[in-house]
Amino acid sequence: MTWSRIGWRNLGRNRKRTVLTALGLAVAFFAVVFIVGWSQGLMVEMVESATSLVNGQIEIHDAEYRPDRSMYDTIGGREGTDIDALFRVIDADPAVTAAAPRVYAGGLVSSGSATSAGMFMGIDPVRELTLSRFLDPLVRGRMPAPGRNELLVGEEMARQLSVALGDEVVVVASGADGSMANDLFTLVGIFRTGLVELDTTFAVMPLGDLQALVVLAPERIHEIAVATTDPWIADATAERLGAALPPTERAVEVVGWPTLNPAMVEYVALGDSMYFIIIIVVFSIAIFGVANTMVMATYERRREFAVMLALGATPGSVRAVVLYEAMALGVISLAIGATITLPLMVWFHNAPPDMSWAVADVTLMGALLSPSLRVEYDPQFWLVAALALFATALLASLLPAWRAARVPPADTLSAL
């Protein structure tokens, strides 16, 4: 492979220029890998936040429950169902990491002269803590104990009602029997989700206490939220669970977050399509730098090419020399690029710099995003970026290679 060796050696002719050109490609490689890694980090955080802060990755409801969320549409029908039997099936699924029952009811929370509209959420305190993150840690106080009329409210509702831990609040809701359910509850804790609508309206209490308040039988619940090992297997797991659950009087729907929050799925898909645009833009900029260098390098060596051609080299071999040179440049660039990129990726993946001193938390589509620069690994995309780097080097060399092969030997040499 004489031609390839010549191409490789040519890179050493002007090392400074070679290094600068390689750096251009290496930085382009770093830029796309890092930007995309960061963007994917943001997407992953968004999905994880949206599916673990309060909601699960999968929700199980009565088939009629969404979107009206009527309190009468309990899982399994108007008489409820054997909740424990459902949990035995759900907990046994290998992909499920946590599952928790929930009861919801709308009403009012009042203290003194202040009254807020409230959404009451009845939870199993033990199971809930394994599933969602918003109650752990609490801003203040502790989890409510079942059977003692204790509740938690969001930070903003506590502020609007001017209540502190230990205060009694009046809770009013419409009972399932049409009665005006009302009772006194003691505020034992305050939570913060960072999502204003939840922090303003949600009040959390043990499931049994809420069922007693609104006159729902203990076997009547509205939702089972389920967490899985990976948000992206939610749909498949939901399908499996749906088939495995014991039959109930009324149909049950098991849906993954992609169905519950289609906007987020579209957002992630939009992000994916952006990555290729980023590659094209960044390497389009780089290609002109490389082309410029290659044009210069081949122009300088016109006489060499003339000699090669005069000595019997075919135009094809001359082209090959230039293209081999471009390939070699790609190899060097990739080596430099990987050397810059990999350590930074590892760093930003494991210990992302916290930007909260500069930027506040952001909420997006029901997800809370912390301002960190965490990056996600995506080896498949790295491969794509590496191929794009080689493609750029080769594309940039096509014109110089073609011109080098067409150098007229006699004319060029006679100008010596």
Size of the site for another protein (CB under 8 A): 30
DSSP state of 233: G
Tell whether residue 106 is a contact of another protein (CB under 8 A). yes
Query: 99, 87 in Cβ contact below 8 A?
Result: yes
DSSP state of 143: P
Query: 81, 147 in Cβ contact below 8 A?
Result: no
Query: 236, 259 in Cβ contact below 8 A?
Result: no
Tell whether residue 108 is a contact of another protein (CB under 8 A). yes
Q: How far is the CB of 289 from another protein (least distance, A)?
A: 59
When binding is defined by CB under 8 A, the residue of 20, 63, 117, 244 that contacts another protein is 117
Q: Which residue has the tokens 């999905």?
A: 47
Tell whether residue 54 is a contact of another protein (CB under 8 A). no
Positions 276 through 335 that interact with another protein (CB under 8 A): none
Q: Which residue has the tokens 């006194």?
A: 184
Tell whether residue 68 is a contact of another protein (CB under 8 A). yes
Nearer of residues 110 and 259 to another protein, judged by Cβ: 110
Phi and psi dihedrals of 106, rounded to 5? -95, 155
When binding is defined by CB under 8 A, the residue of 116, 211, 228, 333 that contacts another protein is 116
Q: How far is the CB of 105 from another protein (least distance, A)?
A: 7
Q: How far is the CB of 75 from another protein (least distance, A)?
A: 16
Q: Can you list the alpha helix ranges (DSSP code H) found in 57-120?
A: 83-92
At CA 137, angle to CA 135 and CA 138, rounded to 5? 65
Tell whether residue 70 is a contact of another protein (CB under 8 A). yes
Q: How far is the CB of 186 from another protein (least distance, A)?
A: 12
Q: How far is the CB of 182 from another protein (least distance, A)?
A: 5
As a whole number of angstroms, the distance between CA 142 and CA 399 comes to 71
Q: How far is the CB of 199 from another protein (least distance, A)?
A: 16
Nearer of residues 70 and 162 to another protein, judged by Cβ: 70
Name which of 123, 160, 157 is nearest 143 in CA terms. Answer: 123
Residue 75 carries which side chain, given as an amino acid letter? I
Q: How far is the CB of 132 from another protein (least distance, A)?
A: 20
Q: How far is the CB of 355 from another protein (least distance, A)?
A: 36
Residues 6+ apart with CB under 8 A from 277: none
Tell whether residue 12 is a contact of another protein (CB under 8 A). no
When binding is defined by CB under 8 A, the residue of 115, 292, 363, 412 that contacts another protein is 115
Nearer of residues 103 and 318 to another protein, judged by Cβ: 103
Neighbours of 200 (CB within 10 A): 18
When binding is defined by CB under 8 A, the residue of 69, 140, 240, 250 that contacts another protein is 69
Nearer of residues 105 and 294 to another protein, judged by Cβ: 105
Total residues found in the chain within this entry = 416
Q: How far is the CB of 245 from another protein (least distance, A)?
A: 24
Nearer of residues 114 and 139 to another protein, judged by Cβ: 114
The interface mask with another protein, positions 153-192, x = CB under 8 A, is -----------------x-xxxxxxxxxxxxx--------
Tell whether residue 416 is a contact of another protein (CB under 8 A). no
Name which of 232, 238, 234 is nearest 253 in CA terms. Answer: 238
Nearer of residues 52 and 116 to another protein, judged by Cβ: 116
DSSP-derived 3-state class of residue 103: strand
12-38 in b/e form (b: 16+ CB < 10 A) is: eeeeeebeebbbbbbbbbbbbbbbbbb
Q: In 175-259, which ranges are E strands?
A: 180-191, 202-206, 223-228, 252-256
Q: How far is the CB of 222 from another protein (least distance, A)?
A: 10
Nearer of residues 108 and 278 to another protein, judged by Cβ: 108
Q: How far is the CB of 337 from another protein (least distance, A)?
A: 54
Tell whether residue 75 is a contact of another protein (CB under 8 A). no
In whole angstroms, how far apart are CA 60 and each of 131, 206, 231, 392? 14, 19, 16, 50
Query: 279, 32 in Cβ contact below 8 A?
Result: yes
Positions 118 through 147 that interact with another protein (CB under 8 A): 119
Nearer of residues 73 and 124 to another protein, judged by Cβ: 73
Tell whether residue 110 is a contact of another protein (CB under 8 A). yes
Q: Determine whether 72 is exposed, middle or buried from the number of CB atoms within 10 Å of its CB (0-12, 13-18, 19+).
A: middle
As a whole number of angstroms, the distance between CA 375 and CA 35 comes to 8
Q: Which residues bind another protein (CB under 8 A)?
A: 68-72, 104-108, 110, 113, 115-117, 119, 170, 172-184
